[in-house]
Homo-oligomer: A and B are copies of this chain.
Amino acid sequence: MSVAGSPLPVAIEPERDPHLVAAVEEAGGIVVPLDRARVLVWIGDPAEFPDLADTVEWVALKTAGIEGFRAAGVIDGNRIWTNASGFYAAGCAEHALALLLAGLRQIDTSVVLGWNDDVIPPAVRTLRGATVTIIGAGGIGRELTPRLSACGAWVVAVNRSGTPVEGAVRTATPDQLDEVLAETDHVVLAAPATAETRHLIDDRTLALLKPHSWVVNVARGALIDQAALGRALRDGVIAGAALDVTDPEPPASDDPLWECPNLIVTPHIANPAPGLTREMAPWLAENIRRFTAGEKLISVVDPAAEY
């Protein structure tokens, strides 16, 4: 049933995913073809995005980073756009913790070398007492901070607004980044891909880190200058890097990335595709409830901003 008046007509395209259909109906909406919809839930690629009539008031995208939709020129100022950064946050935070711990605990080395305690023990490190800087601390940062804190780490958050992240010992702004990096043990990248964040990790910023530092990326590959990362890993400028995202994706089989020592790569699985629409469903239901009630939506995209 609709919260007020007739049920909200929602299109789910390019296919009617059953988890999302259930979410729409639970929230008092009705699933309809696109030409009768006031809302479009788009779970397809940017290249296939349809032309929209002005009667579509809100488009809900399923991705957290929407640079692909921006590049395709589909995001306009004629309606509300939401991305899905909210419901990705917990999964990305868990994956970031898994990658950082795998690096510190040398699980990758153990998998490759077997029982080799001559090589492995000296470099095993701990999160206890370590400082971990989260760059781009929004939703993922809010989820990751309590996980890191429970492991005894000190969290420093960096975000554009300087909005304090609960549990972080410090929240800094991007202009303080150099000073923050010089004092951190490890770095987790959780920022959107914009012109400003492109190659944020490069030769210069890597040189600010420590020989025992790990760099973890669960955001977008373009945040790291991969050639610079390769140099830093080969020269021992940092201890290692763990990436769930690369530039490009997937890396070619002859990408120099595969030759880097102390590099862990997972294939963009922080939020696995099979569980995606199931996890997205409660989040969509909440936004449909809010839209119907005339409330502010979660994760509204600013068409003028880059994320």
Contact = CB atoms under 8 A, between A and B. Distances in A.
Contacts of A95: 105
A267 B116 CA distance: 7
Per CB-CB distance, the 10 closest pairs between chain A and chain B, nearest first, are A150-B150, A98-B101, A115-B250, A117-B267, A98-B105, A124-B272, A110-B266, A121-B272, A115-B267, A147-B150
Contacts of A147: 147, 150-151
Interface in A87-116: 90-91, 94-95, 97-99, 101-102, 104-108, 110-112, 114-116
Contacts of A117: 250, 267-269
A264 B114 contact: no
A116 B105 CA distance: 23
B267 A126 contact: no
Nearest to A100: B98
Contact of A120 (B91, B97, B151, B269): B269
Contacts of A171: none
Interface string A212-247: 000000000000000000000000000000000010
A70 to B, nearest CB: 24
A146 interface: yes
A102 B116 CA distance: 19
B104 A272 contact: no
A109 to B, nearest CB: 9
A250 B250 CA distance: 37
Interface in A110-143: 110-112, 114-117, 120-122, 124, 126-128
A5 interface: no
A214 to B, nearest CB: 12
Contact of A152 (B90, B126, B272): B90
A30 B94 CA distance: 47
Contacts of A94: 101, 105, 126-128, 151-152
A114 B150 contact: no
Given A107-B107, A110-B267, 7 more contacts: A94-B128, A98-B98, A105-B269, A110-B264, A110-B265, A115-B249, A121-B267
A278 to B, nearest CB: 12
Contacts of A128: 90-91, 94
Nearest to A101: B98
Contacts of A101: 94, 97-98, 101-102
A90 B110 CA distance: 21
A190 to B, nearest CB: 16
A294 interface: no
A103 to B, nearest CB: 9
A297 to B, nearest CB: 24
A273 interface: yes
Given A115-B250, A149-B150, A274 B108 contact: no
